[in-house]
Chain A
Amino acid sequence: MTHRIGVFICHCGINIAQNVDVEALTEYASHLDGVIVSKNYKYMCSDAGANVIKDAIKEHKLDRVVIASCSPRMHEHTFRDVVRDGGVNPYCLEIANIREQCSWAHTDKEQATEKAKALVRSAVAKAKLMEPLSTSTIPVIPEALVIGGGIAGIQASLDLANDGFKVYLVEREPTIGGRMAQLDKTFPTLDCASCILTPKMMEAANHANIELFTYADIAKIEGSIGNYTVQIKKKPRYVDIKKCTGCGDCAQACRLKGRVSNEFDLGLGKRGAAYLAFPQAVPLKYTIDSKHCLFLTRGKCGDTPACKEACLQQAINFDQKEEIITKKVGAIIVATGYDLLDPSAIYEYGYATSADVITSLEMERLISSSGPTKGEILRPSDQKKPKSITFILCVGSRDETQCTWCCRIGCMSALKHVYLLREKLGEDVEINVCYTDIRSYGKGYEEFYRKVRGLKTNMFRGRPSEVRNISGQLTLDIFDTMTSKLFEVTTDLVVLVPAIVPRFDATAFARILHLTQSGDGFLLEAHPKLRPMDTFVNGMFIAGCCQGPKDIQDTVSQASGAASRAAIILSKKELEIDPLIASVDEEICTGCGICIEVCPYDARSLNEKTRVALVNDALCAGCGGCIAACPSNASVHKNFTKKQILNMVDETL
């Protein structure tokens, strides 16, 4: 059957027309085999341009459409809607990319026009073999999974829960709260972090629509948009959280009390094996640390484990096992946060060799009134008040040998520390700040910076080459590029502001979710400007620092945005699924099963009776891997068929 093809060529203003002879191309296309009509227009994507296409479809009874314009990544969806409105199946459209891959890349008009002709010719060759496809629908499960219980995950969960959707919030630590819970105050308003975070943590824990899984990991995720199956692995905390009242008797009784370093305080404080990360933890349930607990590591803790004896509720249960819980959800929000670069990587700053070289997060715990020193600023080495404190910014950030990116919060967090230290220690302490540039870009940030500069702070623009530690005395040389002078600074405490890096297990985690990472290792958004919360996996969204460094304001905004994006899916009863997937020619299929092995999505299976391979439409992502692998050409990639591609190859040459 011969098809009636229309070719529509866009000038894109002058973007295409300046380097491609659009008139010549239109004339050329009109003589191609199968082409009934060929037209050009200034802006095909405009309403008027759409009418040119729709009118031509009616007038010439077209059933296949080729549009030569910008990249299909740009306007394929727009044009599919146009041809559908015109009465042609939306999948009988092929786009020849003559802007991004032709007129913008080649300025020689003759060469660019020749290339455009080849691209149109091959698009027409493909269009001849296009088949009308229909989208099928799948039901949507109106429940969501949120991974990560920091401020991003909490905000996203609350938004979705308040929208009326059931949310499973999974956190790997024993408490939600994340990084924000470790902070003392927040810039630039100096709100107490706990005071604004704790109510949200409580709200999330008590919300009727939120089910909290703390001390749990994601073991496996299968399925696709609208219908994901999630396996949540609950780690044993050896405390029955239904019975635990949070009284703390177990922690008091623990034989290791005060002997295990507390990761929440970054090792500056001590806890026992039975512990609560911090007093405002949510849920307020204790955890037995299986790595340290005497009973769990050695099988013996006195005659009976002291915690078990102390717990009147009999909540301690050493028989708890790891548990896998399976849930079905329609959408997933990933908010797994960030790690700080370990400054030991920058050997010359002496983080690994001197106790008095600390990170900004450790300073946060020292300042915090709920921290290991109850808010007193004491040097870790001798527990004395420092007379001089020096901040080094951009430790590993904006550094080609470590992290090329800006951490976006380092400047402001250091300025905040300066302000809080002045408040706590008065005028007696000397404060030095070695910065690269002060980036105070947010609302109220520049004003805060000015305020801090008035606080007798020595600002040096430059990066020290090293921190020397001579029998406990810290000294550094700093060349100030503002005054072009070299200063030698002797100081009691050095605070490094390290780079923000992806979670240590970001790559393994991205694999579980089939998400992609950008070159820096953070999770990749679908479009940096227009789809910043979407990922390339439909139905999965990202929020907060797992996508890249950001402050709390931006994190919360992004989390609400991600929740709103997820709600668009969850509020639908059914979803259309893209029909550009695999299918099987049952006449040819020999049932060899190679397609089953190569499919990364478990979308292929074998009908044991007929010995013919099957495709699960909901699982198939349309990669085409099984098509190339099929030895008998029985696997077909809809509208990317082998015949179509070979036709394109023939015509492109």
Chain B
Amino acid sequence: MTEEKKEHNKEEFEPRIVGFLCNWCSYAGADLAGTSRIQYPPNVRIIRVMCSGSVDSMYILRALLEGADGVFVGGCHPGDCHYLDGNYKARRRMVLLKTILETFGLESERVWIRWISASEGQRFAETMRDMTDSIRKLGPNPIAKQWNI
């Protein structure tokens, strides 16, 4: 694993993004993007969770410490949460986490939270394109650099 990481750094910068997608909306939306054969950059690695509200801040911090250049959290649209209000919990948690990240000198723009429904394959693919571009502009995650030294 560490070998691969080094390899990555040698090449031109390709952002590595970890995505936490809720089972009911965003994960299904990502499936729909595939089913509709809509292409998006392969930079995102998806981890399925049952609800965006179950995404612990710890997951995001760990991903950033382990070298992810960006973390994406996808949930159902406000009001549409399969579990009633999990996405609101996620939203509150992300706001707090972003202020903490800024305090530590890390760009909070590395963490994205977006609402993508099961029928929004196109939106999922577009969001992944936007996020990959925007993280590419931000450059490699500075924490990861230190970590590698």
Contact = CB atoms under 8 A, between A and B. Distances in A.
A651 interface: yes
Contacts of A580: 50
A73 B1 contact: no
A101 B50 contact: no
Given A73-B31, A649-B18, A650-B62, A640 B45 contact: no
Contact of B38 (A105, A637, A645): A105
A115 B50 contact: no
B47 A122 contact: yes
A640 to B, nearest CB: 6
Contacts of B84: 511, 514, 600
A640 B31 contact: no
A649 B34 contact: no
The 8 A-B residue pairs with the shortest CB-CB distance in the complex, in nearest-first order: A624-B54, A100-B34, A623-B83, A104-B34, A100-B31, A600-B84, A652-B45, A623-B51
B89 A625 contact: yes
A17 to B, nearest CB: 15
Main SS class of interface, A? helix
B33 A105 contact: yes
A536 B86 CA distance: 15
Contacts, number: 142
Contact of A105 (B40, B55, B62, B93): B40
> Could you say which interface size class chain B belongs to?
35 or more
A612 B47 CA distance: 31
Interface string A608-649: 000000000000011111011100000001001010011011
B24 interface: yes
A99 interface: yes
B28 interface: yes
Interface in B47-86: 47-51, 53-59, 62-63, 66-68, 76, 79-80, 82-86
B16 interface: yes
Contacts of A629: 89
A16 to B, nearest CB: 11
B80 A516 contact: yes
Given A100-B34, A625-B53, A646-B58, 6 more contacts: A101-B31, A122-B47, A623-B86, A625-B86, A652-B47, A653-B16
A646 B18 CA distance: 12
A507 B85 CA distance: 14
Contact of A622 (B28, B33, B50, B80): B50
Contact of B83 (A108, A625, A627): A625
Interface string A104-115: 111110011011
B47 A624 contact: no
B139 interface: no
Contact of B45 (A100, A118, A623, A625): A118
Given A516-B80, A600-B83, A628-B56, A105 B45 contact: no
B39 to A, nearest CB: 6
18 contacts: A97-B31, A100-B31, A100-B35, A101-B46, A105-B125, A106-B39, A112-B42, A115-B42, A119-B45, A119-B46, A122-B45, A601-B83, A621-B83, A624-B49, A625-B53, A628-B93, A637-B54, A645-B49
Given A104-B35, A104-B37, A105-B125, A645 B30 contact: no
A136 interface: no
B5 interface: yes
B39 A105 contact: yes
B122 interface: no
Given A105-B38, A627-B54, A648 B47 contact: yes
Interface in B70-127: 76, 79-80, 82-86, 89, 93, 117, 119, 125
B34 A73 contact: no
A111 B42 CA distance: 7
A649 B1 CA distance: 12
Contact of B31 (A71, A107, A114): A71
A474 B50 CA distance: 57
A471 interface: no
A253 B82 CA distance: 52
A519 interface: yes
Contacts of A623: 50-51, 53-54, 82-83, 86
Interface of B: 1, 5, 16, 18, 23-24, 27-28, 30-35, 37-40, 42, 45-51, 53-59, 62-63, 66-68, 76, 79-80, 82-86, 89, 93, 117, 119, 125
A517 interface: yes
A73 B27 CA distance: 9
A598 interface: yes
A100 B30 contact: yes
A72 interface: yes
A114 B42 CA distance: 9
Nearest to B16: A653
A128 to B, nearest CB: 15
Q: Which of A99, A516, A646, A648 has the most CB of B within 10 A?
A: A516
Given A105-B39, A600-B83, A637-B50, A99 B45 contact: no
B114 to A, nearest CB: 16
Given A115-B45, A516-B82, A645-B59, A624 B53 contact: yes
Contacts of A651: 1
A212 to B, nearest CB: 31
Give the one of A623, A627, A645 with max B CB within 10 A.
A623
B4 to A, nearest CB: 9
A627 B50 CA distance: 11
A383 interface: no
Interface in A212-245: none
A649 B28 contact: no
Contacts of B83: 600-601, 621, 623, 625
Contacts of B79: 507
A629 B23 CA distance: 19
A115 B17 CA distance: 12
Contacts of A518: 119
Given A108-B42, A653-B45, A519 B85 contact: no
B123 to A, nearest CB: 11
A651 B67 CA distance: 11
Contacts of A648: 47
Interface in A112-161: 112, 114-115, 118-119, 122
B39 A107 contact: yes
A649 B63 contact: yes
